[in-house]
A and B are shown apart, each in its own frame.
Chain A
Amino acid sequence: MHRTGELFGHFQTLEQQRESATFGMWVFLATEVLFFGGMFLTYTINRHAYFTAFGVGSNDLDITLGTTNTLVLILSSFTMAMAVWCAQTGKKKLVPLFLVLTLVLGCAFLGIKFVEYKQKFHHHLVPGRSFDISYHVNHPAPGDDPKEIAFEKEELAKALASDPDTNSHAQLYFSLYFAMTGLHALHMVVGAGLVMWLIGASLKGRFTPHYHTPVENIGLYWHFVDIVWIYLFPLFYLIDRHR
C-alpha cells in the first residue's frame, strides 16, 4: 500500500485520515452501546421482577471496594485525557508517562475486581451448585462488621417471607453481576493491551501534533469503558443501601 510517512495513499490529507478514523471509532462505540445496552435491559427486567432478591444480593457486594474502583477508573480516564493532550501539543516525553499511569490504574482496577470476585467465591455467591445466599450471614468471617451481618440476616429473613425462592432469584442477580462486570473487565483487559501498544509506539516518538490518531481513538475507547462502569456502579452496588 502506498504510504507517505503516516499518510496512507487513499487519503488526501492527514486531517481527512484522522477524521475518518475517529468517525469509525465512534461508529464502533455506538455498536458497543447497544451491546452493553442489551445486558442493562436484561438487568432492568429482572430487577423489576425480583426486586427484593436483587436488593439482598446487592448488599452482599463490598461498597468500599466498589467506590474505590470507581475513583480509580475516573482517575485513569483523567490520565488518558492528559496523554491525548500531551500528544496534541507535542510533549513527546510526557505521552508515555501518562500512558503508563493509565495502565497502572487500569491494572489496579482489575486487581481490586479480582479481590472482589475472590470474596464472592468465599461467600458462596458464585452461581452454580454451591450458590447459597444465606451462607455468608451464617458463616461470617472474623473481620466482618457484626451489625452489618445482623442487618443482612434480618433482611434475608424478610425477603424469604415474601419470596420463598429468594436463593434462586439472588442467583440470577449474581449471574448478571458476573456477566456484566466480567464483560466490562474483559474490555478493561483489551484496553490495557491497547495502552501497552501505545506506550511502545510513544516511546519511539511516533505521536506528534500532526499524527496522534491512535492515542485519541484508544482514549475514546477507554472513556467509553469508564462510562459503562459509571452505570454499573450504582445499579449493582448502590440499589439497596438505605437503612
Chain B
Amino acid sequence: MPEHSEHIVSPKIYFTIFIALVIGTSLTTWAAFQNFGPFNIVIALGIATAKATLVVLFFMHARYSVGRTRLVIVCAIFWLAIMLALTLADYQTRQPRMSRLVPPAVFYRV
C-alpha cells in the first residue's frame, strides 16, 4: 500500500472558511452602497482577493500542498501580473488622450 502524504482538511475548517466567505460577500455588498471615494474599487477588489485567497488556501488545499503546486500558483499570479502591468502601463503612457480609446465611429452603427 502506498503511504499517504496528502493532508486531510477537517470539515470544521471547511465550514469556518464557508462562513468567512459569506461574511466577505455581505461585507462587499454593504461596502458597495457606501461612498469611500477613490477607495471604492480598492475595497471591492481587496475583499474579493481575500475571499479568493481563502478558497485557494483551504478549499483547494494550497496551504497544505507540496512546493511544486505552490510554484504553479505563484507562476499563474506572476504571469497575470506581467500581462496586466505591462498592458496598462502601455495604455497609460501613450500620447495624451490615447488612453481614452478613440472608438471607430462606424463600429457602433448597428
Contacts and interface: CB of A to CB of B under 8 A. Distances in A.
Interface string B56-94: 101110000010110011011101100110011001000
B8 A77 contact: no
A160 interface: no
Interface in B3-19: 3-6, 8-11, 14-15, 17-18
B2 interface: yes
Given A22-B69, A238-B32, A230 B51 contact: yes
Interface residues of B, number: 58
A29 B72 CA distance: 9
A30 B59 contact: no
A210 interface: yes
Contacts of A238: 28-29, 32, 44
Interface in B22-52: 22, 25, 28-29, 32-36, 40-41, 44-45, 47-48, 51-52
A13 B4 CA distance: 11
B11 A82 contact: yes
Contacts of A46: 101
A226 interface: yes
B29 A128 contact: no
Given A75-B18, A85-B8, A34 B79 contact: yes
Nearest to B28: A234
A70 B100 CA distance: 32
Given A14-B2, A26-B69, A233-B48, A74 B21 contact: yes
Interface stretch (A36-44, A103-111, A134-142, A194-202): A36-44
B91 A45 contact: yes
A78 B15 contact: yes
Given A45-B91, A238-B32, A210 B72 contact: no
A18 to B, nearest CB: 7
Given A34-B80, A129-B110, A81 B87 contact: no
A74 B103 contact: no
A41 B40 contact: no
A49 B32 contact: no
Contacts of A219: 59-60
Contact of A168 (B66, B75, B77, B103): B103
B52 A231 contact: yes
A151 interface: no
Contacts of A13: 2
Top-5 shortest CB links A-B:
A238-B32, A30-B76, A242-B35, A234-B44, A168-B108
Given A71-B22, A241-B33, 10 more contacts: A37-B80, A74-B25, A75-B18, A77-B21, A80-B59, A231-B48, A234-B44, A237-B32, A239-B32, A242-B36
7 contacts: A22-B69, A33-B80, A45-B88, A45-B91, A78-B15, A234-B32, A241-B32
